């Protein structure tokens, strides 16, 4: 049996990400380009809610265990990424 080669996950995103968000994602191994974010190999993208709406919600976990939330707009084929605030990250580490 051959092992499956995992591909990086590419997301089409709005242009002009906030500099802090861009730096955070790059620090966790993402490649950020104008209008596109590529998650590192080994990232997991799991659908959160199974409701029939135009927006699908996903939890994203990067290989270093960093987590973010994605709202995928099926109509526009666009992903909006929500990164945890510093306060939320500190609460998880308590």
What are the pLDDT digits (tens) for 60-88?
999 999 999 999 999 999 999 999 986 44
The full set of domain ranges for the chain reads: 9-92
pLDDT one-digit tens code per residue, 43-66: 999 999 777 788 999 999 999 999
Share of the chain above pLDDT 90, in %: 69
Distance CA 33, CA 91 (A): 30
pTM of model > 0.85: no
């Amino acid at each position: 049996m051959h092992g499956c080669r995992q591909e990086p996950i590419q997301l089409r995103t709005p242009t002009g990400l906030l500099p802090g968000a861009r730096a955070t994602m790059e620090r966790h191994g993402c490649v950020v380009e104008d209008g596109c974010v590529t998650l590192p190999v080994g990232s997991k993208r799991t659908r959160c809610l199974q409701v029939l709406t135009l927006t699908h919600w996903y939890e994203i976990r990067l290989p270093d265990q960093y987590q973010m939330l994605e709202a995928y707009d099926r109509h526009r084929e666009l992903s909006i990424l929500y990164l945890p605030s510093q306060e939320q990250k500190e609460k998880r580490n308590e």
